[in-house]
Structure 1
Amino acid sequence: MTMGDRFSGMDDIRAALADLPGPDAGAIADATARQAQLTKPAGSLGRLETLAIWYAGWRGDARPQVTRPQIAVFAANHGVAARSVSAYPAEVTVQMVANFQAGGAAINRLAETYGARIDVVALDLDRPTADFTESAAMTEAEFAAAMASGWAAVDPQAGLLVAGEMGIGNTTAAAAVAAGLFGGQAADWVGRGTGVAGPALAGKIATVEAGLARHRDALGDPLEVLRRLGGRELAAMAGAILAARHRRIPVLLDGFICTAAAAVLEAARPGALDHAEAGHLSAEGGHAALLERIGKTPLLSLGLRLGEGTGAVLALGVLQGAVACHSGMATFAEAGVSGA
């Protein structure tokens, strides 16, 4: 059994956060030295160079390949969706899970394009979380089970993880989590999500405000913020990202919802996301501020706000290019080219 399989409550999760492995310092040193010898002016590939070195360090290989990339899409339903915080009804979550499984969604096409495996994990879709304006979204047992589901979903042989999500109402939950972690007004974090505007957007902001007021006494504990204001898919993404850290699997973060889940780990244990890079900057309200809070600079900015892992999978192409250049280019000596 792995540590994640034994999550039974907050103490187990805190223990997993307390003992985090780091990257391979030798691989980083050797990859850095290799970059200096490749047939190009120093620094001419910009961020591709540092990205390749980052990847090499976490894979423990100075000349790595990006193998077996995995996309794990977690789906769950939210009690708060009954407050009309989304332009779509809650049954769309179940319908979209079927679409993922049938191969008809954007994430399926992108996974195929970049050679990634996709796993869809449905989390008690017939049992929404509690409305966080009335009580904690999840009990401790439910929260631990969702975290464990995320942990168990990660392929130990994966060379990269992308965590995606689906859940009507989850931009509301993510905004509440972000506000609970970092403060500010609810309106600073709430965006249009599936396209709400006008009175519906005002109602979404009011819902987040009510949730923050209801749980104000617990906002100093990042894990409690996620348990009380989040959802099963957010908890599962956090569990998956934590599992990836324990297995030294690099992670590309997706949009606002994924980043909110990941930010819980960073807030609970600074440095917990050193194995993660931000795949993209989404168009969802608050994402730029959230990335700033966790110290991540996105690889792409394409105006996306779909979720599912789509932006991170597009960034996988950037990582694949970075690693291909790093590991496959000739050195000056190999090519018979005079160095600087």
Structure 2
Amino acid sequence: MAAIYSGIHLKLKSPHTPWEDKLKLARFAWISSQCLLPNKEQVLLDWCTYALTGWYNKKVELSQTVLEGLWSCLNDFLHSRKLHVTIKEGKPVSVRLNMAQFLVRSSSQVTSLAVTFTIPTVTAMTTLLRQGEGLIRNSHHVVLVLGALHAVPLDHLTAVVYQSAFLAIHEALFAIIQCHTQVMLNAAPSFLNVFYRLVTSIMQEGRQRGAADTGGESEVYLQCSRLVERMYSHIAAISENFTTLSAFMVAQYVTELQKVTLRSDIKLRLTEGIYHILDLCLEHDIKFLTTGLQTGVREVFNELYSSYTHYHKPKRQGEDKYTV
């Protein structure tokens, strides 16, 4: 009986097999013990990912039904108990990081895939990043993750999904800072561009909205603002290597701040965060910021710097003196 199904791989690769039949064959092969296919789980995962790659690279035409079927198939494979058992048994099954980057970018184009696919894929990449250079020795692979993070959707999401996406990006960035510091410093512009997405996003979501400023959703955005504050402090912790970009980060912050009126609780968290970056700014950085910014933005910076020198700087100097 098994011999009947031994040609499934050829049928999956054949241009003469209708895509609807390929999907049925792939699902059957995944669950059936009658399908004899060496390294079956890896083969079927690769078939799914390469089929999706072909469509997004415009090398193959697929109907919307087939495209959704491929995403559903891949999602079911990755979340199946069978795959978990296979990995637990020590059989190697993998999705390469460049393929993971593609999957994040392509799945992010479909909002409904954010929870089921995009965010879990980012979480999986973060798990790999946390293994450090012992597992990911090629710095290019870390840069690939940064490229994928650029694509994670943050717009037009419910508060719950937004929080999950925001946290996934933050945790990936934190893993890079913690476990791949040198790569992060070498790729600082890419790293900061991803982080800047979080800053601008929470400023948009955290702007004043009247009665909508209270309730469950407001707490979600407050928690996200705390994550931004936390990330600013992590960046400042490697200050000896990051001073050259501190003025740039402050300029980005006040430029965005000038566009919105933030809720007071969210503004407090973001302000405490950017104070850590102002700690890194040298005299010539401050001079640049006070003279080089556009008029409206410069006024926002002057207000920020005034509060920094009045409240935060004396406190920090006192703490430094106490530490010494």
TM range (shorter): under 0.3
Q: TM-score normalised to the size of structure 2?
A: 0.26
* Greater Rg over alpha carbons, structure: 2
TM-score by length of 1: 0.25
Higher relative contact order (CA 8 A, sep 6+): 1
Higher strand share: 1
Q: Which has the higher helix share?
A: 2
